[in-house]
Amino acid sequence: MSGQDEEAGLAEQLDRFKRRYEREKKARREAEGLLEQRSRELHAANFELSTVAAQLEKIVEWRMSQLSEALLRAETAAKSKSEFLAVMSHEIRTPLNGVLGMAELLSHTDLTKEQHDQVATLKECGTSLLALINDILDLSKIDAGKMTLENEPFNLYALVDSVVNLFVPKAGEVGLKLVWRRPSGSAWVMGDATRVRQITSNLLSNAIKFTPQGGVTVEVGAEEDQVLMDRMLLRVSITDTGIGLTEEQQGKIFSAFEQADSSTTRRYGGTGLGLAICKRLAEAMGGGIAVESRLGEGSTFVLSWEAQRAQEAASVSAEAAPSPGPSPATAVSTEPLSILVAEDNSVNQKLILKLLEKLGHREVKLAGNGREALERARQGDIELILMDMQMPEMDGLDATRAIRLLDLPRQPHIVALTANAFTEDRERCEAAGMDDFLSKPVNLERLSAALERGRQGIRLPSPTP
């Protein structure tokens, strides 16, 4: 190859390299441009996204604050509704006591048969109105979070025993067979006996009410928890051969004011509050109520909960001791007692004086508030005080505490007389030094029984009726 050829070859090679270099440079520039454009687009999209996110966050925050405000408003409304109901029910009970008490007095006077029937209807209506008010009071107390449960030892078997006994006459009246499978021995557990009694009574009352024929069987179970040996698994089950319920009905009967079908009220009476209260109470005890039922065949309602095992209570408790029961008026001594009635409401004063008069106590002293009661008690001649809890100036609790501090030859027997039917109230009365407890409306029978306990110096709060 000549030197010229070699030169020409090199020039061509150089030219190729140059072109290739130019091509690659162009391609790189294009790629860089594209990259820059993409990253600009990405940046813009990113910016837009973060603006939207910030806006969204603000909207969520605003919604949340609106929601929590609405929730707070709803909670406050529900609470004030429950408080309103609690106050109203309490206020309604007081005049209703007057109505019922007067009807009771009237029924003990000379009446024609027709008048007698009319008074009986008056009493019946008053009593069911009172039961309704008590139910509403219960429900509103639970909903307002004011329901506190006791935790005292009680014997479950004895408790169910006494509830079943209460329903034996009713079952007999309507021709139902009431079977109670009472296990032998006893089952001492911790808990709120009053509430267990309330639930059991309600379930048993429903079973009898909704069973036109056949029978009702009550069973209890108390088993030791296999893991936590000091705990017991408890169960009260009530089976009936009554009208039964469809699945749909089973789903709604535990709500307040719900009945299985709208004709229930007409046929069987009631307001549909019983089971709603029972369910809430059972849940407050950490348990529940289950139902198994078939339309036309019958139902089984089971209350179950867990409780701490308890030692047999040494002290006299409502479930342990044989209940003193309402002593019949005839078995009661009629020798007048020196009685002081501390009560501010004039209708109630009149009523209680009339009832006492019927029981042979004519010379009764009166005090319009706690301070007057204290001054009267200071004289030392009072044997028994019927003490209202809520009074102006000084309430019944303060008056009792003050009386207990008096140096008297003999302390009077003090019986709380109150429209408050709750366990907490009974406890407060006991703690203040009262000996006995009568919830209003007081009737002749219960008053007479309380006077008799006072005469014998029996210090025992009567179980809530």
Among 95-103, 202-210, 225-233, 382-390, the segment contacting ligand ATP (CB under 6 A): 202-210
Grouping H, G, I as helix, E, B as strand and the rest as coil, residue 59 is: helix
For residue 188, the partner it binds in ligand ATP, Mg ion, none, with Cβ less than 5 to 8 A by kind, is none
Instruction: Confirm or reject binding of residue 461 to Mg ion (CB under 5 A).
Output: no
The answer to whether residue 210 forms part of the interface with ligand ATP (CB under 6 A) is: yes
CB 275 within 8 A of CB 260: no
DSSP 411: P
CB 210 to Mg ion: min, Å: 9
274 binds Mg ion (CB under 5 A): yes
How far is Cα 76 from Cα 145, in angstroms, rounded to an integer? 12
Query: Distance of CA 38 to CAs 26, 32, 33, 34, 43, Å?
Result: 18, 10, 9, 6, 8
Q: Which is nearer to Mg ion, 153 or 270 (CB)?
A: 270
Nearer to ligand ATP, 190 or 203 (CB): 203
Task: Give the nearest distance from C-beta 176 to Mg ion in angstroms.
Answer: 16
The one-character DSSP state at 162 is H
The distance of closest approach from Cβ of residue 185 to ligand ATP in the complex, given in angstroms and rounded to an integer, is 29
Interface with Mg ion, residue 206, by CB under 5 A:
yes
CB 400 within 8 A of CB 387: yes
Token digits for 207?
A: 């079973």
Among 139, 158, 189, 260, binds ligand ATP (CB under 6 A): 260
CB-CB neighbours of 126 under 10 Å: 20
In contact, 293 and 245? CB cutoff 8 Å: yes
Q: Measured from the CB atom, is 276 or 444 closer to ligand ATP?
A: 276
Decide which of Mg ion, ligand ATP, none touches 272; Cβ closer than 5 to 8 Å per partner kind. ligand ATP
Which stretch, 182-190, 257-265, 268-276, 327-335, contacts Mg ion (CB under 5 A)?
A: 268-276
Taking CB under 6 A as the rule, does residue 274 contact ligand ATP?
Answer: yes
Q: Among all residues, whose Cβ is closest to Mg ion?
A: 274
**Strand blocks (E) in 162-296:** 177-181, 188-191, 215-224, 231-240, 288-294
**Residue (273 or 429) nearer to ligand ATP, CB:** 273
Q: Is 194 in the site for Mg ion (CB under 5 A)?
A: no
Q: Does 259 bind ligand ATP (CB under 6 A)?
A: yes
Q: If contact means CB under 5 to 8 A according to the sort of partner, which of Mg ion, ligand ATP, none does residue 271 touch?
A: ligand ATP
Interaction between residue 270 and ligand ATP (CB under 6 A): yes
Here the tokens at position 105 are 């007095």
Binder among 101, 272, 396, 461 for ligand ATP (CB under 6 A): 272
Q: What is the closest distance, in whole angstroms, from the C-beta atom of residue 275 to ligand ATP in the complex? A: 3
Q: How far apart are CA 455 and CA 432, in angstroms?
A: 20
Give the one entry of ligand ATP, Mg ion, none that residue 443 binds, where binding means its C-beta sits below a cut-off of 5 to 8 angstroms depending on kind: none
Nearest to 422 by CA among 140, 137, 203, 187: 137
Nearest C-alpha neighbor of 97 from the set 280, 347, 343, 288? 347
Task: In whole angstroms, give the CA distance from residue 70 to residue 359.
Answer: 58
Residues 6+ apart with CB under 8 A from 160: 180, 182, 200, 218, 220, 236
Token pair belonging to 337: 């007692």
Phi then psi dihedrals of residue 390, to 5 deg: -95, 110
Under rule CB under 6 A, residue 204 binds ligand ATP: no
Give the residue, chosen from 96, 119, 275, 285, that forms a contact with ligand ATP under the rule CB under 6 A.
Answer: 275
Question: Please, which residue, 194 or 259, has the CB nearer to ligand ATP?
Answer: 259
CA distance 132 to 140: 12
Report the nearest approach of ligand ATP to the CB of residue 197 (Å). Answer: 15
Task: Please select the residue that binds ligand ATP; options are 158, 245, 389, 416, rule is CB under 6 A.
Answer: 245
The crossing angle, in degrees rounded to 10, of helices 346-358 and 3-107 is: 50
Terminal-to-terminal C-alpha distance of the chain: 132
Per CB under 6 A, residues contacting ligand ATP are: 135, 206-207, 210, 240, 242-245, 253, 259-260, 264, 270-276, 299
Per CB under 5 A, residues contacting Mg ion are: 206, 274
